Amino acid sequence: MSKVVFTSAAGDTREVEAAAGDSVMEVAMRNGVPGIVAECGGSLSCATCHVFVAEADLAELPPMEEMEDEMLWGTAVDRQPNSRLSCQVRVTDGHDLHVTTPETQI
């Protein structure tokens, strides 16, 4: 099993176990992690699950698809080079992920 480490904009950290294939958004919602709103439930239509992926983990992820790229321009907090939508980032077996949530999603 892998883990996702969530860090809030204020610096609070929470580590959660995650199954391979789950999205980071699903892991956050299932475990009550604050900072992920996920209004659309993962259907890639709202951008309220915006996260900043740790630079060390970014290279391990598949590149974002065009729709995710478009949605990231509509986030409440300005997009950064390491921005991703957590509904589009999947946990893989043996790889832990470290993400930071923005100050707000809406």
DSSP codes joined into one string, 16-75: EEE-TT-BHHHHHHHTT-TT---TTSSSSSS-TTEEEE-HHHHTTSPPPPHHHHHHGGG-
What single-letter amino acid sits at 29? M
Closest to 77 measured CA to CA, from 37, 42, 45, 31? 37
Instruction: Enter the pTM of the model.
Output: 0.96
Token representation of residue 63: 């590149």
CA atoms of 104 and 106, how far apart (whole Å):
6
Encode pLDDT of 31-83 as tens digits. 999 999 999 999 999 999 999 999 999 999 999 999 999 999 999 999 999 99
Q: Quick one: pLDDT at residue 92?
A: 96
Ordered structural domains, the chain, with CATH: 2-100 (3.10.20.30)
Q: How many CA atoms lie within 13 A of 9 on its CB side?
A: 11
